[in-house]
Amino acid sequence: MLLSRILVGFGSGNVAVMRTYGANASVKKDRAKAITMVTACWVCGITVGPAIQVAFAPIGYPGVKLFGALHLDMYTAPPLLAALIDLLVLVLLNVFVKEEYVGVVDEKKVEDPFYALPKPKLLPIIVCIVTRFTLMFTITNAEAIGSMFVMAMYKWTNAEAVKYNGMIMLGQSGVSLIVNILFTVKLADYISNGKERITATLGLVIGLLYHVITYAWPFFPNRLDYRIDKSNGTIEYVGCYPSKYSWCSHTHQVPLWLYAFATVFILGLALYVTFTPLNTLFSKVLGDRRQGTMTGIFFMAGSVARTIGPIVVAVMFENYGPEITWILPIIMLAITVLLWIICWKQIVPLDSNPKLKAGESYKYDNGNKYKF
């Protein structure tokens, strides 16, 4: 299992390659739509993926024995399907994709013999990278403790958590799909006309609102409870058992309808309203240059969040409960929103051909360009 996770982690590096190619293979006026389409497909994948397990829930466990120790059950069927999809994508990629880089400025072919592409500004790059870290940490927070949270909060068995939590994820997938279709068909051109900052910030605020709404507030009427299931001569404690979690006795239950509604409609809207304009803006901040290295760093920030996130939130959940686990992303999102507000005027697309007045200059890769 650990080896599989390592291999999947290496494989996820292709996301950065795809987004880089989307930026470099599109001209400036079409870049927003190109990156939106790449981002939309990725977003649909990470949201529909967890929800697919609902379709395999009826198979149950241990399911159908295939050969040896391999079974086709509700846990093994989704990764087997994912492997088949990967094989199909490899075939499609090699048959239909022809590499073109029309979005990269070739300084040797520019009519102006003194043209030099300016260096990108560091501050907006840092803000975008920090934002991606926050977003991926927030997603990881939901993924890492999602099943543990609903099992403790609503007295669900493991099978019930897979089924009902999967249904919630399926609803969230539907919302994110609608949002991404709107971005691709209608909103991409509108947002690319200087609206990336406000859209990304709005998404962060909505994400912050989600965590505030679904926090286990002490004014919620019910406390966490558990039940004892006896079957096949075994005893199973279902729910929040105080001997397992010390925080069960004082933690209040988030109403199921509120959690489900907020996860589907608010979180489903928040994260993906932020992702698309963030990716588009990051591409514009870098300018009309090859973006592979910086995009790799951009996505590495998300990978770091997904690496340390499960460890941090799982330990926090087991020892301190959902309250502290929710406070962490609230603080991170609040700091990120504040960072956008403070750096608002600096988070702008790079002017690839600035008009200099006498005495002005700008930095480029090989030095400084001056106008006398």
Residues 6+ positions from 268 with CB-CB distance below 8 Å: 47, 171, 172, 173, 174, 175, 176, 179
What pLDDT, on a 0 to 100 scale, did the predictor assign at position 327?
Answer: 94
CA proximity to 121, closest of 278, 342, 361, 287: 287
Low-confidence ranges of the chain (pLDDT < 70): 13, 16, 23, 27-32, 40, 43-44, 46-48, 50-51, 101-117, 188, 192, 231-233, 352-354, 356-372
Residues in the chain: 372
What pLDDT, on a 0 to 100 scale, did the predictor assign at position 226?
Answer: 83
Q: Using an 8 Å Cβ cutoff, are 193 and 205 in contact?
A: no
CA proximity to 63, closest of 4, 53, 310: 53
Determine phi and psi for 8, rounding to 5 degrees: -65, -40
What is residue 275's three-state secondary structure?
helix
Burial (0-12, 13-18, 19+ Cβ within 10 Å), 174: middle
Q: What is the DSSP string of 92-123?
A: HHHHH-----TTS--GGG-S-TT--PBPPPHH
3-class SS string, 38-84: HHHHHHHHHHHHHHHHHHHHHHCCCCEEEECCEEECCCCHHHHHHHH
What pLDDT, on a 0 to 100 scale, did the predictor assign at position 233?
Answer: 64
**ω into 62 cis (within 30 of 0):** yes
- Please write the tens of the pLDDT for every residue from 244-272: 888 988 899 999 999 999 999 998 888 77
Q: For residues 347 and 139, give the distance between their C-alpha atoms in angstroms, rounded to a whole number.
A: 24
What's the alpha-carbon Rg for the chain, to the nearest Å?
24
CA proximity to 291, closest of 27, 110, 23, 32: 23
CA proximity to 32, closest of 189, 148, 162: 189
What pLDDT, on a 0 to 100 scale, did the predictor assign at position 81?
Answer: 84
CA proximity to 311, closest of 135, 166, 161, 137: 137
What pLDDT, on a 0 to 100 scale, did the predictor assign at position 329?
Answer: 92
What amino acid occupies position 118? P
Q: What is the DSSP string of 201-245?
A: HHHHHHHHHHHHHTS--TTSSPBP-EEEEEETTEEEEEE--TTT-
CA proximity to 291, closest of 148, 128, 133: 128
- Please write the tens of the pLDDT for every residue from 159-183: 888 788 888 887 887 887 787 777 7
What pLDDT, on a 0 to 100 scale, did the predictor assign at position 302?
Answer: 86
The domain ranges of the chain are: 12-370
CA proximity to 351, closest of 111, 166, 114, 105: 105
Per-residue tokens: 353? 């051909």
Residues 6+ positions from 146 with CB-CB distance below 8 Å: 165
What pLDDT, on a 0 to 100 scale, did the predictor assign at position 211?
Answer: 94
What pLDDT, on a 0 to 100 scale, did the predictor assign at position 365?
Answer: 61
- Does domain 12-370 fall under CATH 1.20.144? My reply is no
